[in-house]
Structure 1
Amino acid sequence: MNVMLSAPPKTHYHALFVSDLHLGTRGCKAELLAAFLARVSCDRLYLVGDIIDGWRLRRSWFWDRHHDEVLRLILKMARRGTDVVYIPGNHDEMMRAWLPMELEVAGVRLCERATHVTATGQTFLVLHGDEFDSVVRYAPLLAVLGDQAYTLALAINHVVNAARRRLGLPYRSLSAWLKRQVKGAVMAIDRFEHAAIAEARKHDADGVICGHIHHPVIRTIDGLLYMNDGDWVESCSALVERTDGTMELLGLAQTLGAPDVSHAFARRSPGRTAAPKPVFMPEPA
């Protein structure tokens, strides 16, 4: 007797926000991202910049089947009715040549920034965020040098974690740990967050959703909500809006190869008014 096994139901969200995939780099966790995308569905998908890493691809080519699978799943979502919005970042700035006009290709809308309206009527400004980074904006050469140092940190991170896996130890992000230890980096993140909130206030929004700095968090700043969806080279995180308007920051299990999209490490319910404590990516157990 033949038994047909049905696929497990997908978790459905009103909106899903991902950024800083850096497809085209060895640091991109494309296999984990594809596993995540295959298990979810949404009414609207926001690609919040640095989706394809043009900086890296101009210097050396890296692309494997997992990168192909990520793009295939995104385009499949667009074909099946998901409103896919692509907001270019600084690493995929070649896409900005088509802006400020909006362009739609294969069901994917390209725009400079967007306004997301939640199920409860809250409005959030959605942008990549590199315009708040003075190094990227005013000193592109320094930005490239910083990118090279970051790439080196990711390469060291790969070697260290390969050794940790052989020893049966869990995954640790070296680059994320370094950012938390450097006082200047912490201060720069704080300045970035406040600049993003100031932009949201200027547009009479309830808050801002961005990426760029690879620092996933939901926090209230000066009465407005700041949400950063993180990245897919360190945190492997995504911001989602549930159908009731609840905003959640989802993370994968910290051990590579063990995705767990049910784990939320930050949440903001639609009716919540008290300012939550700053939430950072937790250290793996």
Structure 2
Amino acid sequence: MIIERAKPSDYQELKQLWLIVFDEEPTFLEHFFATRISYQNIFVARKDDKLVSALHALPLYYHKQGEEHPTSYIVGAATYREYRRQGIMGKLLEATREAYDHPITLFPAVRPFYEANGYFTTSSVLSFSLEAENRERENLAVQYTFHDLDAIYRKATSEEGALLRDNEAWSFLTEGYEVLSVEGGYAFISEGKAVETMVLSSDAASSMLSLLKGRGITEVRTLESSPLANLIGREKGVPIPMGMSTSKELQGVYIAEQY
């Protein structure tokens, strides 16, 4: 078994591995490999000259207490089915951790596996159940830009910190989720749930809650410190664990799934 960094000649094998393991939509796959490919930040495992496992350690930053710090964010951690349960991914995670001086972060598909490999959950959000209100409401939605979303996100997470997002990350997110935006807030919608909701004030919280209920959204997830949690009642919220890191320096830092 050979553990090493990827090479440009691995391009097709890396795409094939991702496509098969994740059954990925071709449009997303092409977007990711066109914008995020960085061979020096991809770690692979080879067996008998075949690429059997890989992960992408995207170079990113997180902010905390007014300062920005480097991190690597793992995505696309994949192993062909016939090579699983052989410790291969654990070796890739170890190689990634040893390659950098900064913390490693990720959003886990299988949390116990990453816990066993030295990762801990940095933060959680609160999930609230909503009852739809089937009555006509004022249209509170507003148009947004990536700059608008980023400004809200940074300010909403300024207290505890968060993994930062560039324009490409916002592009992936807005392509993958429906976005509802009000003055001073936004929500990502998936399957009738607001899976990420950021608001900056009680007025934004009220507008967002009204908009979500009017749209028939049944669940909303938001930060514990959010004005929206205060409006609904924090005691009603159910904690949902978020991303993970190798370093206790990221305790409290918000890490969500992103590309």
| Bigger Rg, which one | 2
Answer whether TM exceeds 0.5 for this pair.
no
TM-score when scaled to structure 1? Answer: 0.24
Structure having the higher strand fraction is 2
TM-score when scaled to structure 2? Answer: 0.26
